[in-house]
Amino acid sequence: MHDLLDQFLDWLMLERGLSDNTRGAYAHDLGVFADFLARRGRSSPAEVTRSDILDHLLDQKKAGLATPSLARHLVAIKVFFRYLCNEGFLASNPTDAMESPRLWKILPPTLTVEEVDALLRAPDVSTPRGRRDKAILETFYATGLRVSELSALTVDDVQADAGFVRCVGKGDKERVVPIGRKALDAIAAWMRGGRGEYSRRNPSCRAVFLSRLGLPLDRTVIWRYIRAYAREAGIAKPIHPHTLRHSFATHLLANGASLRTIQEMLGHADISTTQIYTHVDQSRLQAIHRKFHPRA
């Protein structure tokens, strides 16, 4: 089983062009699935049944796995078995009749505009680290970048005069995203008052956001910083790596932006991925209707 998993993971990178982060997510989810199958005595994919897959997902749900993570597990399993069938390792696919992972999805967690304002005010901008973290938060909310995309952002990617940033997303696809003046001002403040000091140990590094060692900030470190600032701002909601990204999209939609435009800015290959935000906006409209309509 593990030999086939290794071949599949190599195929993801070589043939599908997926990023290291995506490959790592597939490797983790399928590794957990393989361990579950081993405990059941399944030594090859040909022995795996639909019931095994459903029992694995139920097992993960009982262990506390969130609904989006369950959907991700199911996607990984479905892609793996489709690969095995296409390559001739399996005659039939046990996931063919399974429900679409869209049915497992829930609305993404978002912040209100007031909560975002409180979060953006949390860093102490009198210090270099505070200026850096303020710029990180402002850039996140202004652009809707993924954490990995922001971590990889270079000084050459920020086109302040034109008002956009360039980033490379999933599948090595490059896109251009508009960025607002407040975020650009925060980046400029960090570049003037902190980045030079942080880059002394590694002056050749072109990343915008550096650690004290002059290295690009790791995406997990960025996530920890955001959660810490959320607590400092008094935000009780659970904070996830994509919380500001989801808030960016939701607030754009609520203020009249088209779904297709949001799709372009988020870098979604399929607009169906972006359509989840329409449900968030519908909830807002229903609340307004209930509050103000005389016969609601």
Write out the H or E segment, with its range, that includes residue 107. none
Shared-domain flag, residues 163 and 36? no
Q: How far apart are CA 85 and CA 141, in angstroms?
A: 42
- State the virtual CA torsion across 121, 124, 128, 131 in degrees, nearest 10: 10
CATH number at residue 24: 1.10.150.130
User: Residue 179 sits in which domain range?
Assistant: 113-288
Report if residue 263 sits inside a domain. yes
Q: Token digits for 54?
A: 């459903």
Helix (H, G, I), strand (E, B) or coil at 268: coil
Shared-domain flag, residues 50 and 140? no
CB atoms within 10 A of CB 280: 18
Bridge partner list, 174? 168
- Is there a contact between 228 and 137 (Cβ–Cβ < 8 Å)? no
Report if residue 201 sits inside a domain. yes
Shared-domain flag, residues 81 and 194? no
Report if residue 222 sits inside a domain. yes
Half-sphere exposure of 39 (CA within 13 A, CB side): 9
Q: What is the pLDDT along the chain (296 residues), one digit of tens a residue?
A: 778 888 888 888 776 767 778 888 889 999 999 999 999 898 888 898 888 888 888 888 888 887 778 888 888 999 899 989 988 888 888 887 666 545 445 556 789 899 999 999 999 999 999 999 999 999 999 999 999 899 999 999 999 999 999 998 877 788 999 999 999 999 999 999 999 999 999 999 999 999 999 999 998 899 899 999 999 999 988 887 788 988 998 888 888 888 888 888 998 877 767 777 776 666 666 666 677 666 65
CATH number at residue 269: 1.10.443.10
Q: Which amino acid belongs to residue 63?
A: A
Active site residue ranges? 146, 170, 242, 245, 268, 277
Q: How far apart are CA 46 and CA 227, in angstroms?
A: 43
**Which residue has tokens 């696809």?**
173
Round the CA-based radius of gyration of the chain to a whole number and report it. 22
